[in-house]
């Protein structure tokens, strides 16, 4: 099996990626911080349902970018996503989202 071309640690490494990108610009980037938020997926209730719907549609929209690296056929992709969200309800799954903030000064 070919290696997946998907960086599953991108969220954890986002500070490093911002630092590397900043080195290629004329800007001085400082005070880079990363925040991780864990959100329950598909646990029920209006908020849980809203978060699940948002994440499911985000996953559907990433189809073109991820179905090949994941080794999934295009026509099976949405079925896998639907199954994943049903399992999330049963397993009380969390999704981690990563954000980064920084200050920029022109050098």
pLDDT of 100 over the 60 cut: yes
Question: What is the Cα–Cα distance from 103 to 27, expressed in whole angstroms?
Answer: 10
Does residue 3 fall inside a structural domain? no
Predicted TM-score (pTM) of this structure: 0.54
What was the pLDDT predicted at 107?
A: 63
Does residue 1 fall inside a structural domain? no
Does residue 25 fall inside a structural domain? yes
Contact 34, 99 (CB under 8 A): yes
Question: What is the Cα–Cα distance from 54 to 86, expressed in whole angstroms?
Answer: 15
Does residue 85 fall inside a structural domain? yes
pLDDT of 2 over the 60 cut: no
Could you tell me the residue range of the domain that residue 77 belongs to? 14-106
Confidence of residue 106 (pLDDT cuts 50, 70, 90): confident
> Number of folded domains in the chain?
1
Does residue 4 fall inside a structural domain? no
Does residue 64 fall inside a structural domain? yes
Model confidence over 8-63: pLDDT tens digits?
677 677 778 888 888 888 778 778 888 888 888 877 788 778 888 888 898 888 88
pLDDT of 1 over the 60 cut: no
């Amino acid at each position: 099996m070919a290696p997946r071309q998907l960086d599953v640690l991108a969220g954890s490494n986002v500070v490093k990626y911002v630092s590397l990108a900043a080195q290629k610009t004329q800007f001085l980037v400082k005070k880079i911080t990363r925040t991780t938020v864990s959100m329950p997926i598909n646990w029920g209730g209006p908020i849980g349902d809203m978060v699940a719907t948002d994440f499911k549609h985000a996953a559907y929209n990433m189809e073109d970018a991820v179905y090949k690296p994941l080794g999934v056929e295009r026509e099976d992709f949405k079925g896998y996503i639907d199954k994943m969200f049903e399992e999330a309800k049963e397993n009380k799954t969390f999704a981690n989202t990563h954000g980064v903030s920084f200050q920029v000064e022109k050098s």
